[in-house]
Every structure is written in C-alpha cells, then in structure tokens.
Amino acid sequence: MVTPIPAAHDGGVAPPYARIATEEAFMTRDVYAATRRVIEEHAIDDPGFYALQGHYLTSTSERSTFIASRLQDLGDRRIADMDATGISMQILGLTAPGVQIFDAETAVSLAAATNDELAEACRRHPDRFAGLATIAPQAPAKAAEELSRAVTQLGLKGAMINSHTRGEYLDDPKFWDIFEAAQSLGVPVYIHPVTPPPNMIGPFLERGLEGAIFGFAVETALHMMRLIVGGVFDRFPDLTITVGHLGEGLPFWLYRLDYMHKASVTAKRYEAMQPLQRKVSDYLKENFFYTTSGMPWEPAILYTRSVVGADRVMYAMDYPYEYVAEEVVMSDALPLDAEEKRAFFQGIAEKVFSL
Ligand code: MN
C-alpha cells in the first residue's frame, strides 16, 4: 500500500494521492567501479558514453557531484529527498547506460548483482522503493532468465533497458526472448534514453545536443519506432513498453506516422517496412505507457493525455538528474479532477508496475 506523504508545499497535510515517481535512477558501487574503469581505460568506442557518464562520474561541478553521490544512495539520503518533495515511492532503474556498455559476461554478472542489491533495498523500504530489473541484452536468453528470476524471486516489477545496446536495437529478433519473457510475466519493459550510438552521434556532439536536452529523445523515439515498424507488437500483442519524457516527442507525430507508414507500405518502398496489423498510432495508444520525467509542463502533459489516452500518462521525476521541488508543485497544479489526478500520480503506476 502506497501512502500519501505531504511535500513542503502541502503545508503539513498529506495530499489525496500518493506521488509515485516512476523513472528514478540509481547506481550500485560495482557498476560505478566498472563504469569508471571503462572511462579511465577508454575501453569502448562510444563517444556518447564518455560525454554522458564520463561527465557525471568525473566532473567536479556542483551538479555532477550531487548526481554521482545521490545515484549511489538507496537509503536515508534518498528517502529524505523524497520526503522533502512529497514523493511516496520511487520506481528505481539502473542509470544509463547501465550494463549495456560491457562485454556480455561482465554485463550478465553485474546485472544479477545489481538486481540482488536493488531487491534488498526494496525489502528494506517496501513502502518507498520498487524496482525494475537490470538485464543484459548482449546475452538475450540469459537476459530473459534474469528478468524471470528478478520478477518471480526478487519481486522486481519489470525491466529497465537503456535503449540501444552497443548500437543494436531490440527490434532485432535475436533479442525477442526478452519480450517473450516480459509478456508472459506480465511486466513492462521501460525503455530509457541513452546517448546515440557512434554511427549517429556526430552532429549531436558538435553542438552539445547528444544528451537529455535533445539527443536522448531522438535516439529513444527511433528505438520506439523500430519496435513498432519491425512488428514487435504484432508478434507480442500484450507487451507493455514504458517510456519517459512524455513519449520522446512521438505523441506529436501520430498523424504523420500513420500517413507516411501507410504510403510507404502501399508503395512497397522498403523491404524493411512491411504491413502491420494495426496503425502506428494504435501501438502507441495500446502498447505504451508514458511518464512525465523531466517534462512537468502542463500544455505537453495535457496534449499527450489527449492523444494517447489519459489512462496512459503517469508521473515521474527523474531523480537525481531532475530534483526540483517546483516541478512537483507544477504537477500538482495540473487542471485535472480529483480522480484523474489520483490516477496520474498513483493509480496508473500501481497498475502498470503491479504495486
Ligand atoms: Mn531518466
């Protein structure tokens, strides 16, 4: 049972809903050490990785220091920050790029250890934390097994995948063991942004646009579109994908996506673009859930609700990258009635993540 907690701006009175923040990041000591090693040895060819974690894990700026230390806390300090902003529960996922930059063997073992640690934190604070499993797409069958172990034995609520894995996307059928497992377990796969892969990142890096400001959304929206156009949801019709940042821009595109997909399929323009059972927009309305991480902006939230469905858009903060009390105030002020607001902050998350 998730209990409402008053934020500073609630004046000491708990709100009529529990705020469940659904895209909240952490990092274990082991993943931190392994990630630092890759940075120091310059062990992989991935400019986006060095731009992202190379910055957050080595910069001495106030923002980086805040984030690097907060990421590794799954205890009192994190809970104090949640209390201060009235967050009842965080849905935790290993921060990008997670284990997806490592070789398969390292990734598989770090994923299991991460899930054990996360499950332990959730057991210590069952009313404050729930978790999404880390899996290593580099080893798809093992990733599916680990997801199953994490859900059935550790009580985790789904999987967190930090978008592409060394430049590869989950529409490749070699990864579909993961979707098979998620669908049969009835848990969501959260596709979280990461920086674009090496063959895409050049023009983004030239202007500092590869990260959360813009490149994340472009890369993750591309991943979403590859899943849809690649027929993943025709093969796995009950698969649920959760995405942040109000759908990475795609809700704005529904009309054009449908129009151009139909035109391309009708013209038999691409071998890789075959007819689908439903319209592109149908998959975005029926297989995806959306969170507001980093997008606490009323016009965008109301618009997204209006096109994908009010029952598909839920609250997220994006802690510790986004830890701004005013954004909670903005979300509380959305012009929704009491029932809608309870669904937005609490009810949809309880359903999607089986809380
Ligand atoms: Mn995030």
Question: What string of pLDDT tens digits covers the 355 residues of the chain?
Answer: 799 999 999 998 999 999 999 999 999 999 999 999 999 999 999 999 999 988 888 899 999 999 999 999 999 999 999 999 999 999 999 999 999 999 999 999 999 999 999 999 999 999 999 999 999 999 999 999 999 999 999 999 999 999 999 999 999 999 999 999 999 999 999 999 999 999 999 999 999 999 999 999 999 999 999 999 999 999 999 999 999 999 999 999 999 999 999 999 999 999 999 999 999 999 999 999 999 999 999 999 999 999 999 999 999 999 999 999 999 999 999 999 999 999 999 999 999 999 9
Q: Which of 151, 135, 131, 132 is nearest to 143 (CA)?
A: 135
| Chain center to CA of 164 | 12
Residue 325 and residue 5 in contact, taking contact as beta carbons nearer than 8 Å: no
Task: Report the b/e string of 106-122 with b at 16+ CB within 10 A.
Answer: bbbbbbbbbbebbbebb
- Could you tell me the strand order of the sheet in which 133-134 lies? 133-134, 159-161, 189-191, 241-243, 288-291, 313-314
Written as six digits, the tokens of 8 are 């500073």
pLDDT at residue 1, as a whole number: 76
Residue 279 zone, left/alpha/beta (φ > 0; ψ -120 to 50; rest): beta
Report how far ligand 1's centroid is from the alpha carbon of 126 (Å).
Answer: 22
Task: Report the b/e string of 133-166 with b at 16+ CB within 10 A.
Answer: bbbbbbbbebbbbbbbbbbeebebbbbbbbbbbb
| Chain center to CA of 12 | 31
- Please, which residues have CB within 8 angstroms of residue 203's CB and are 6 or more apart in sequence? none
Q: Which of 119, 250, 131, 255 is nearest to 193 (CA)?
A: 250
C-alpha to C-alpha distances, 218 to 59, 82, 191, 262, nearest whole angstrom: 25, 30, 13, 22
Q: Does the bond joining 320 to the residue before it have cis omega, within 30 degrees of 0? A: yes
C-alpha to C-alpha distances, 295 to 65, 111, 217, 241, 254, nearest whole angstrom: 23, 29, 12, 19, 19
pTM for the model stands at 0.98
SS3 106: helix
Residue 52 and residue 96 in contact, taking contact as beta carbons nearer than 8 Å: yes
Residue 163 and residue 96 in contact, taking contact as beta carbons nearer than 8 Å: yes
Is the dihedral angle over the CA atoms 113, 115, 116, 117 positive or is it negative? positive
Report how far ligand 1's centroid is from the alpha carbon of 189 (Å).
Answer: 14
Residue 161 and residue 190 in contact, taking contact as beta carbons nearer than 8 Å: yes
Report how far ligand 1's centroid is from the alpha carbon of 275 (Å).
Answer: 33
81, 318, 332, 337: the active-site residue: 318
pLDDT at residue 51, as a whole number: 93
318 assigned to active site: yes
Residue 80 and residue 128 in contact, taking contact as beta carbons nearer than 8 Å: no
Report how far ligand 1's centroid is from the alpha carbon of 212 (Å).
Answer: 9
Angle, CA of 115, 118 and 123, to the nearest 5°: 120
Report how far ligand 1's centroid is from the alpha carbon of 25 (Å).
Answer: 6
pLDDT at residue 12, as a whole number: 86
pLDDT at residue 237, as a whole number: 98
Q: What is the dihedral of CA 179, 185, 186, 188, to 10 degrees?
A: -50
Report how far ligand 1's centroid is from the alpha carbon of 142 (Å).
Answer: 25
